[in-house]
Amino acid sequence: MPAFDCHVFVCCNQRRADHPRGCCDPQGSRALLAALKEELAGQEKRPRVRINLAGCLDQCEYGPALVIYPQGIWYGRLRREDVPRIVQRTILRGEVIPELAIPPECLGSRGEICWSFRRQQES
């Protein structure tokens, strides 16, 4: 079997509602994961892609979060309505969507909110 063009890991970690670092899948629905799979399945022409459930990706402050390899693209604070753009622009065309991307300086901030990412999301 040939290698995947990209591999998407979607954080589906669950924590109690009052956890200080937040939770990527608070309802336990895995809705983002399901939406990505559904959107990709509806594409007529698609690359070899694997979309997987992941445990904690340690980007809790920016959840729901996912990472796409081998490109190393990290997206955060995702909503269902972001899924078509992620599939069309990133998975199919290889583009990074700046307003969804967690900046490299914010990755692994472990409890601290990275203000550059917050501003991107609020603008």
pLDDT of residue 96: 97
pLDDT of residue 119: 43
* pLDDT at residue 120 tops 60: no
Q: Is 1 part of any domain?
A: no
Whole-model pTM? 0.87
Q: Is 31 part of any domain?
A: yes
pLDDT tens-place string over residues 6-47? 999 999 998 887 888 888 888 778 999 999 999 999 888 778
Looking at the structure of the chain, the number of domains it has is 1
Q: What is the CATH number of the domain that holds 96?
A: 3.40.30.10
pLDDT tens-place string over residues 68-95? 999 999 999 999 999 999 999 999 999 9
Give the structural domain span for 22.
6-122
CA distance 23 to 95: 27
Q: What is the dihedral of CA 68, 46, 36, 22, to 10 degrees?
A: 10
Bond from prior residue into 64 cis (ω within 30 degrees of 0): yes
